[in-house]
Chains A and B, each alone.
Chain A
Amino acid sequence: KAGVTQTPRYLIKTRGQQVTLSCSPISGHRSVSWYQQTPGQGLQFLFEYFSETQRNKGNFPGRFSGRQFSNSRSEMNVSTLELGDSALYLCASGLVWGQGADTQYFGPGTRLTVL
């Protein structure tokens, strides 16, 4: 069974631009969560989607948004990029919502660099 895939793997943007990252969960998984990983802040939860609905949200500004499609694929968008948004963005999938309480299956991440 294919794992979680994330595209693109690397991205370079400039301040003020916007960016869209994509995540395809493991086949049959309906929950997708997003995390931001930085050296200073560690792993921080962004949001969780299940059945095209946002179920949970972390403490990030409204510039960070996401959505989930009927095939469970998810995208996250960051508008008006800031230097501090440079990070590794990880997507994790699971069978059911609230899957943060159970094993999560992570993708390799998208490395975003904001110049």
Chain B
Amino acid sequence: GDSVTQMEGPVTLSEEAFLTINCTYTATGYPSLFWYVQYPGEGLQLLLKATKADDKGSNKGFEATYRKETTSFHLEKGSVQVSDSAVYFCALGVRNTNAGKSTFGDGTTLTVKP
């Protein structure tokens, strides 16, 4: 079945440090890939997405590139801020003849210290 493996957390960084959160996946079809972010007390919100190989999703300084050859979708940001502290989820979605369904990773908690 489909699965997503995320880098284990928690991750603690100082402000302005470089961030990488690794994500790899297995999928039976040709998935779309997503990064969602969850701030304390809130639901998930889309951070970025990519729908085909070599696509790069980007938003708010975060980037991730859909790598089909390595089945990866690593999240990166060049300079993190305290406000980036949150839980980050990698997810894939596959549409087939029955239905579409998302599969989520376990989430990585990021804490950025001033």
The interface of chain A, by Cβ under 8 A from chain B, is 4, 6, 33, 35, 42-43, 45, 48, 55-56, 58, 90, 92, 97-109
Contacts and interface: CB of A to CB of B under 8 A. Distances in A.
A103 B42 CA distance: 17
A100 B42 CA distance: 20
A38 B80 CA distance: 27
A42 B104 contact: yes
Interface in B1-53: 31-32, 34, 36, 41-46, 49
Interface residues of B, number: 26
Q: Is the interface of B mostly helix, strand, loop or mixed?
A: strand
A43 B100 contact: no
B106 interface: yes
Contacts of B94: 100-101
Contacts of A90: 43-44
Interface of B: 31-32, 34, 36, 41-46, 49, 89, 93-96, 98-107
Contacts of A58: 101
Contacts of B95: 98, 100-102
7 contacts: A35-B104, A56-B99, A58-B101, A98-B95, A102-B100, A103-B46, A108-B43
B27 to A, nearest CB: 11
B25 to A, nearest CB: 14
B89 A43 contact: yes
Contacts of B32: 101-102
Contact of B105 (A35, A42, A98, A100): A42
